[in-house]
Structure 1
Amino acid sequence: MASEHHLIEIAASQIGCQMSFRRSCWSSNIGGCRCECDYTTNSSAGTVSLILCLSSGNTRAPLNARFKFSLLDREVRPVPCRTRACSFQNWSPHEGWEWVCSDFITREDLDRQKYLDDGSFTVSCDIAIKPFTAKATDAFVTVPPSDLHQHLGNLLACEDGTDVTFKVAGGGGTGTFSAHRCVLAARSPVFRAQLFGEMKEGKEAATGGVVIAVDDMEAHVFRSLLHFVYTDSLTETDEELEQHDGDGYMMTAHYKDLLVAADRYGLERMKLICQEKLCRRIRADSVARMLALADRHHCPGLKEACFDFLSSSTNLEEFIETDGFEELTDTCPAVLKGLLDKLATVLIFE
């Protein structure tokens, strides 16, 4: 395997230039392949995009490759929310290839001093290339991806063999849902304790199944929770609604409800997915409630994303004009103290 590591210095002053331009960062021959890296500025949008190009060098053999761009902070550590990766397999060099990381650096980053060092941004670029090796059996046997989630999803939908019923009544919606105790117990430690352990609850119905009341959760949230338990993914309806949610408020509230449900039943992966969704929906008028939610349900990633959002002076000014600051003072003083400590650190470096 051939690999290289490059550091790209981009002056902050170039983001505010009146003219857009494209500039070469470096070029190299890696693993028999010609590799070039450029960056472009967009004067009207105030952004910098990175471009990685591959072309045939002295090899015609198919290749596998991995690439990663990471924005580095003052301590030369990758910023997780500013890291992008890409990979491919069995690529033919003669076809040529280009990867564009659009808007990798934005005008708002000028306010985040922890990303700047002597007036410049530093971006790391990691590349690994190796020849593609096909196994002898590849031409004869093709193993499809696992479809276990589809079978379990169908089992939930058709309700065959169900032995527990949940009667959900909370908020503005009610519903009755049938499920399989073994599946629930295998996926959730809370369901396991509730159905088989010391927390065992519910009563036997006439049919021999167990009936459990859930009085403090809306039916559509519990339906999404069950779907994730069986398929390890959010529902297609959730994804469709997200694409058509104009102002974003409806889906933000929905993902908050899902995060609370995931935390309640110990579904850590679902909780992380909801955190990731909410991190992209932080606004000045919602960041206070996001911080309170993150603190209440132990979501360090969401809390750090909120702190990062408020490290921008523009976002901070908008936040101060809302009622969120007073809400944090009254309901989450410890979170407010953490926020002030973070902002103090940022101001020291400015």
Structure 2
Amino acid sequence: MTRIPSKDEILAWISENPTLTSKRDIAKAFAIKGSDRIDLKRILRELEAEGHLTKRKKTYRDPDKLPPVAVLEVSEISPDGDLFARAREWQGEGESPRILFVAKPGDPALKEGDRILCRMTEVDGDDYSYEARLIRRIGQTAHRILGVFRKGAEGGRVVPIDKGADKEWMVPDGATDGAKDGELVEAQQTGAKPRMGLPRARIVARLGDPGAPRAVSLIAIHQHGIPDDFPDQVIAEADAMKPAGLKGREDLRHLPLVTIDPADARDHDDACYAHADDSPNNPGGFVIWVAIADVAHYVTPGSALDREARRRGNSTYFPDRVVPMLPDRLSGDLC
């Protein structure tokens, strides 16, 4: 009679061989054949009932560990530009482990919400437990829409603001996030899109009155994913800045520089001054001075401000607001 391995031996095998975890693999590893497989099946069921293993289709694994290949969702991009992800399926205790995505040359650019199939490696990182390497990108997460919430007897519906959207979205009671009738909201699809009837969604963000003057800008900002707030680290770095001194600089404050900004402007354009050139090499010519802010004095390479400015790329202007590339302490004061 074949010796049936103990529970500890089975768990040790699965831990050491995460890609060989089917009942057939385990039976082969311990040379279990014929009717003895019935006892193996019983032990595996007991381990599953005790919470030591979880069954996925025809394989077994430790529920508190991720499989060697997993579907992930990009969950955040750190101020340093690192991508972190979460497992789409997690059956262990506590929160899903944090996963660092390790890109290789040729990988596509990823953003928050992308779903990816990755090979997993368990590591002992400072703030993450796994590293993931891309096999392929498999698409984005559930579809999101921006629209006006209309309250109903059992939840409500979202009327999309996009002219090309021809369907409203049904929001069940308990998925409204407290939205009021007529509010501008962002909703996310829940479940598969039905063949008939309205798609179902839940409210994920409440954005206020769509009729307010700021609505147009808010809609544009939201739909195009323009970042309109700054991470705490960036704000703290900007707030700690002091006005640049004159040390190592030439004082040109005697020049009558002018700008074309209104009197109440805080974000000034370049200042200019022109005067006749007295050089004999430039008869009838002029000298033009152009004064610009010394942004590089405040935004140093590799700083939190530098990383955030690179992520944004530029300031974005709307009729009623500006989404700046740098925090107000710099864009509206020191610079």
Higher helix share: 1
TM-score by length of 1: 0.24
TM-score by length of 2: 0.24
